[in-house]
Amino acid sequence: MKKKESALFFSYLCAHILQIAFLLLCFAIFAVILYLYDLPVDPVLYAALLCAAVGLLSFILSYLRFHKQFRRLESALLNLPESRDDLPEPSGSTAVCYDEAVRMLCTKLAQSETDRRRGQEENTDYFTMWVHQIKTPISAMRLMLGEEDTPRSRALSAELFRIDRYAEMALNYARLNSTSNDLVFAKVEVEPVIKRVVRQYAGQFVRKHIALKCDIAPVQVLTDEKWLAFILGQLLANAVKYTESGTVTVTVTKNKVLKVSDTGIGIAPEDLPRIFEKGFTGYNGRAEKKSTGLGMYLSRRAADMLGHTLSVQSAPGAGSTFSLDMKESNLQVE
């Protein structure tokens, strides 16, 4: 604390070094004149002492005012206010000019932020419209493919399902980056959500000869049902992608932890710390050449937004287990 006060006092002296030097020069001139003209010392010395006392008092008052202003600004920096109006009022013409410059910058920054948010909302609206429009031909193609049951039609249906999922992912990516996330928190029964999402991926399980096991405890969680379904869908898609003729197990424990386990190829140890990074595909993704590196990133983003905790355990050749902790204790209320 003493070092900080000393540094502050020294900085004040440096800022006023010219004024101090000028006063010392004036005293030196008076002393030289006094000596050259052989004037009486007592009255001049008395006047000089009075001037020095007044100057010292003025210096102390000026420093105290500077110290108070500095501490108020320092406190404001440590606890940033909501607006410029909450900062201490400036003192001095230079400080007033700086304050006006800060006000203008704040105004420009606020306008830029408004424009950025408007642009984000427009992008989200565009993605929403695009996804709804693209789903119309996708649904039509799905109906046409459903009229025949051949290996070719099943393969096309699988690819069409992937297109539909990627379109949904694009929409959710835009929504996650939007400033107005349409979150609706409520007590949600987990089992119906899991069954609905599993039905969507049923064709993928059948096509790749993957067995599905479910062990779901009857629990309710405080969450957004739509985003919970999105996270589960991404975890199932990831399990199906990297599992061949194995087993995928969906488990919900009584302490509200959802787990999606697979018997797939697993994840390399060096890839685990980065598995939730944006655009990271890892060794498996590069080998498959089909990974976007967005699924797990969006899942983690959505989980954080919901106040849930998403983690993974895996080893090469031993499969992977993704865990979503949905306990209310993880929610942070602002």
Q: What is the pLDDT of residues 280-325, one digit of tens each?
A: 776 655 555 556 668 889 899 999 989 999 999 988 888 899 999 9
> In what order do the strands lie in the sheet containing 211-216?
211-216, 247-252, 257-262, 320-325, 309-314
Q: Average the pLDDT over each of 122-131, 145-154, 177-186 and give the range with the smallest value.
A: 177-186
CB 81 within 8 A of CB 87: yes
Residue 229 pLDDT: 93
Please report which confidence band the pLDDT of residue 114 belongs to, taking 50, 70 and 90 as the band edges: confident
For the chain, percent of residues with pLDDT exceeding 90: 22
Q: Is the pLDDT of residue 250 over 90?
A: yes
Q: Is the pLDDT of residue 276 over 70?
A: yes
Which amino acid is located at 57 in the chain? L
Each residue of 9-34: pLDDT tens digit? 788 788 778 888 888 888 788 778 87
User: In the predicted model, what is the mean pLDDT of residues 109-126?
Assistant: 82
User: In the predicted model, what is the mean pLDDT of residues 168-174?
Assistant: 80
For the chain, percent of residues with pLDDT exceeding 70: 86
State if pTM tops 0.85: no
Residues 6+ apart with CB under 8 A from 164: 135, 138
| 284, 278, 121, 116: CA torsion to nearest 10 | -150
The DSSP 8-state label assigned to residue 108 in this structure reads H
User: In the predicted model, what is the mean pLDDT of residues 158-181?
Assistant: 77
| Mean pLDDT comparison of 161-165, 227-231, 285-289, highest-scoring range | 227-231
- Tokens encoding 60: 């102390």
Q: Which residue has the higher pLDDT, 104 or 309?
A: 309
Rounded to whole angstroms, how far apart are CA atoms 190 and 217? Answer: 9
Rounded to whole angstroms, how far apart are CA atoms 214 and 33? Answer: 102
Residue 291 pLDDT: 61
User: In the predicted model, what is the mean pLDDT of residues 184-202?
Assistant: 91
Residue 324 pLDDT: 95
Q: Is the pLDDT of residue 106 over 60?
A: yes
Q: Is the pLDDT of residue 214 over 70?
A: yes
Rounded to whole angstroms, how far apart are CA atoms 288 and 264? Answer: 13
Rounded to whole angstroms, how far apart are CA atoms 244 and 320? Answer: 13
Please report which confidence band the pLDDT of residue 187 belongs to, taking 50, 70 and 90 as the band edges: very high
Helix orientation angle between 151-176 and 225-241, rounded to the nearest 10 degrees: 130
Rounded to whole angstroms, how far apart are CA atoms 140 and 238? Answer: 26
Residue 248 pLDDT: 93
